[in-house]
Amino acid sequence: MIESPQSAVILVGGDITFVAKVEAKDLLRKPTIKWFKGKWMDLASKTGKHLQLKETFERLTKMHTFEMHIIKAKDTYAGNYRCEVTYKDKFDSCYFDLEVKEAEQGSQNFDIRSAFKRSSEGQEDAGELDFSGLLKHREPKADDTPEVDVWEILKGARPDQYEKIAFMYGITDLRGLLKRMKKIPREEKKSEAFTKKLEPAYQADKGGKIRLVVDLADPTVDLKWYKNGQEIRSSPKYIFEMKGTQRILVINNCSLNDDAAYSVAAGDERCSTELFVKELPVKIVKSIEAVKTTVNERIELECEVSEEGAQVKWMKNGVEVPTGVRSRYRVKCEGTKHFLVIDDASKEDTGSYSIMATGGTSEAHVQVDLKPLKVFLDLQDVTVLLGQPIKLHCEIYPGNVAGRWYRNGQLIQPNDRINILHRNKSHRLEIATSSLHDVGDYTFVPEGYTQSLSAKIHIIDPPRVHLESLNFPDNTVTIVAGNKLRLEIPISGEPAPRVVWMKGERVILESGHRVRAETSGDQTSLTIDVTEREDTGNYKIVLQNEAGEATASVKIKVVDIPDPPEAPLVPQVGGDWCSMTWEPPKYDGSSPILGYFIERKKKQSSRWMRLNFDLIKETAFEPKKMIEGVPYEVRIFAVNAIGVSKPSEPSKAFTPLAVTSEPTMLVVDDVTDTTVTVKWRPPETIGAAGLDGYLVEYCIEGTDDWIVSNTELTDKTKYTITGLTPGTKILIRVKAINAAGASSPRTIQHSVLVKEVIEPPKIRVPRHLKQTYTRRVGEAVNLVVPFMGKPRPKVTWLKEGTAIDPTHVSIRNTDCDSIIFIRKAERSHSGKYEMAVQVENHVDTAILDIQVVDLPGPPQCVTIEDVWGGNVALVWTPPKDNGNAPITGYTIQKADLKTMEWYTCIEHYHRTCITITELVVGNEYFFRIFAENMCGPSDTATQTKKSALIVKEGMQLKTHEFNDHDFMEAPKFTQPLINTCAVAGYNATLNCSVRSNPRAKVIWMKNKIAILDDPRYRMFSNQGVCTLEVRKPSPYDGGMYTCKAINNLGEAQVECKLEVKVQTQEL
């Protein structure tokens, strides 16, 4: 700020101007200046008749000049003023004082009514610095009262009449009036009752306390207090006090209701006063906050003041906000909180909003932006036929945004032909009937947005083909093959259409040799120099231009001799005849087929012989008089009105054949309760056709319904008829079948009774089962024992005299044998199995001895009997478990204490004592022994508890005895199984680790069922790490898998879930 305003002194009614100058060389835009009176009163809202703010800018000197003019100053204008200049983050201010002195003048020259009228906002007296003018909105009234001296009236009136007189003469500033009257000297009349009367007026703050005091000349006189003429009674609010001759009225907690005229009566004399209650300035406790939102949203500005029910004023950009019934703005108050609500914000609501109270103001900026424009449906280019309606449609968001339509940059106005619609987010432009003037670029511009939507409209007229000028029925042109054809067809369309002649998918070019298409002006032509049968068909004319496409078809029929029929079929052949059929030729020469000629020849010959001289209308014929066994061929000629076709391909060679003679020697071979078996011999005469098989039929005696027993031919001369009812009598016959058909049947002379013939049972035990049958543990046992007997024998099995448990041993019986099956043999399956076969009262039995053997256990005890020199004598006892087989030998091993690596000393040793020789002097040895049987050595060995020390002769080493630490431990899993998800077709592994001593036996299970000898699984166990590999799993392999470890001290198990997912191939 280069020049600051200076303090000044003026008289009441005078004018003064304060000037502030700001240099703008380094400023990009105009700075902001504010004028204040005191600390808070912004003078920008006080501009009017008495206060004016001006600003100018000199381009040459780049100087901003700001002026504040005060016109006809009043004494209330005196005070401290402040000028603030801001630009971005820069700030400067200065203070100055204004002193207003009263001019010396008589009351006769002073217009009291104009002096004490309060200012009204927006009227001619606007600009008064009296803040009460902001809280009242009254229309000025024309002053029609006659000129009177109000001062004289007031001087002679009592104080309680001041308000009435001021109201009569339009004086509204009663406080200013009282202040003025205090300064006017008055002639006091002496009172007889009062030595000191009430003051003319009193002033108290709202909520405060006031004391009204009078002095009485006679303290005994009766005294009464009045408020607006009503007597005041004593109460907590009104308290009467007496101090000597003083009488005091105390009014507590003053409110606006206490702003009234008070009087006191002492006898017949009365004195009055006026009490004015001053409201404390209302302060802003919580300022309004800035708001940034978008259109159509709700805006609520909140401000909290220091007092409930306080009067405030909402401003927008320095102008009071209208809050009428039809206003967009709503004002509400909740206690000390005041709200300004805009329900449906628009962009015009952007601005600076402020709230003004008597004790301060609060201002905040509200920014209302347009909502981002979203195009849900863009305009599409439209091509329409001339005279058809046009519809342009788009959808945008926000939906309440209007817009304008333009054609080639010109605004479109709605009329009878053009209709513009807007509903929510949808905008439509509809033209009832299109014309050539509607062609152009159309644009839709939403109001308030720079973005626009565009589309193009084309008006077109489609082409046409005029086939009505042709005088051909059904647009069909018929011509004989070999002649020339020229076909001319009129066309129309604007612009001139492009013409394409097509036959099927083939386009006929203008440059063609034999067949060509030509177009000139308003017609197109098709020329075929030499017509052929391939030219027959539908010819398509395609016309295209900007208006669209038109098509028409012309059928050209080229008549010619027909194509030869396909090779005839010979479905039936007899001894000297056959039947033949054929299909009509695919191409009949475009003329109906009149008939056919048939020719025949022997296959080895080249000479064809015609069989008919009159045309055959049908497509079937039966040649006769052929030689049996000689191959023949036939062919066909088709005939129409144009001529005879070429011959068809010869038929497949066929040979006339005859059926065989009937079968011979038909007899019954076997009979049961439900079956009959017959046998026969081949026919005596078979013929050239050979023999394909036999057909067996039967019927119940007394009926003629023959039933075919075998649906397929049998080439054997024996057959069993099944499914018969016991006790019925049937007749049986057999036919011989060959290529020529079925022979005459051979029938059994007498009926056959369906009834079983009893045959005693007989078990035929195989030779290898007559002695003990031996199998190892885990191997499968599958024994088949055949037997004989009729009817079907009843088979029973016993083990050691008791029934066999079907859950351990599976037995399946047939008509002629019985099968005993054990999937995985165990030692408990060993024993004698007794088989009994019974037919009625006849019984036959057999005994099978099954022995299931396993590896033996280790020897029970191994001790060192004696040690001498380099020799050690060992003694042991046979194993407690021999594996259900005799012990065949032992394997002895030794290990040096230093390395504990085991070496075999001897194998297949039969005794239970041995002397180990050639031991190294100075070494200490342990020994262990394995037992062997026919299955192999035992899984574990028995080790000597003590070691043998080989010492030099004559020297003995005394060793201290100690107790071995017990490392025995039950199985315990140190790493559990983890749930796994595998991909179908790729190997998956499950891993866990277990610790135990002695080594535990590991069993893998799927869904609680042990996995045994399944090639899809591989099981490994190395150093306590157990692994199960699932080879190329499928979804069927998914489920719960369990790993179970067992030793002599206990068992433990862990589980996991395996999920197999199938890979889906992307198309």
Helices (H) and strands (E) in the chain, counts: 4, 85
Q: How many CB atoms lie within 10 A of CB 713?
A: 14
Contact (Cβ atoms closer than 8 angstroms) between residue 745 and residue 735: yes
Contacts of 484 (CB under 8 A, 6+ apart): 527, 528, 529, 530, 531
Can you tell me the distance from the alpha carbon of 276 to that of 201, in angstroms, rounded to the nearest whole number?
8
Tokens 């005229």 belong to residue: 261
Contacts of 32 (CB under 8 A, 6+ apart): 85, 86, 87
Can you tell me the distance from the alpha carbon of 1044 to that of 1053, in angstroms, rounded to the nearest whole number?
4
This model's pTM is above 0.75: no
| 291-294 vs 360-369, strand pairing mode | parallel
Can you tell me the distance from the alpha carbon of 541 to that of 489, in angstroms, rounded to the nearest whole number?
10
3-state secondary structure of 900: coil
Q: What is the pLDDT of residue 119?
A: 44
Q: What phi and psi values does residue 282 have, to the nearest 5 degrees?
A: -85, 125
CA nearest neighbour of 766 among 788, 783, 782: 783
Q: What is the pLDDT of residue 136?
A: 40
CA nearest neighbour of 945 among 960, 965, 918, 927: 927
CA nearest neighbour of 748 among 678, 804, 802, 817: 678
Can you tell me the distance from the alpha carbon of 122 to that of 133, in angstroms, rounded to the nearest whole number?
10
Can you tell me the distance from the alpha carbon of 957 to that of 19, in angstroms, rounded to the nearest whole number?
128
Contact (Cβ atoms closer than 8 angstroms) between residue 876 and residue 942: yes
Residue 891 tokens, joined = 């394997």
For residue 797, give the DSSP letter: E
Single-letter amino acid code for the residue at 605: S
Can you tell me the distance from the alpha carbon of 57 to that of 24, in angstroms, rounded to the nearest whole number?
9
CA nearest neighbour of 543 among 494, 604, 592: 494
Contacts of 715 (CB under 8 A, 6+ apart): 692, 693, 694
Kindly report the length of the chain: 1067
Residue 660 C-alpha from the chain's centroid: 75
Q: What is the pLDDT of residue 957?
A: 57
Contact (Cβ atoms closer than 8 angstroms) between residue 163 and residue 172: no
CA nearest neighbour of 508 among 520, 500, 497: 500
Residue 163 tokens, joined = 């308000």
- Residue 1035, Ramachandran bin (φ over 0: left; ψ between -120 and 50: alpha; else beta): alpha
Q: What is the pLDDT of residue 64?
A: 87
743-779 residue pLDDT tens: 899 999 888 888 877 788 998 889 888 888 898 888 8
Residue 105 C-alpha from the chain's centroid: 92
Q: What is the pLDDT of residue 104?
A: 56
Q: What is the pLDDT of residue 189?
A: 57
Contact (Cβ atoms closer than 8 angstroms) between residue 938 and residue 931: yes
Contact (Cβ atoms closer than 8 angstroms) between residue 210 and residue 156: no
Residue 260 tokens, joined = 């009234």
Following DSSP, what letter does each residue of 397-416 receive, concatenated? ESTT--EEEEETTEEP---S
CA nearest neighbour of 640 among 588, 678, 600, 676: 588
CA nearest neighbour of 561 among 649, 647, 478, 643: 643
- Residues in the chain with pLDDT < 70? 39, 103-149, 155-156, 160, 172-175, 179, 182-191, 494, 953-961, 1064-1067
Report the 3 state secondary structure along 551-617.
EEEEEEEEECCCCCCCCCEEEEECCCCEEEECCCCCCCCCCCEEEEEEEEEECCCCCCEECCCCCEC
Single-letter amino acid code for the residue at 585: P
Can you tell me the distance from the alpha carbon of 1041 to that of 1011, in angstroms, rounded to the nearest whole number?
10
Q: What is the pLDDT of residue 444?
A: 92
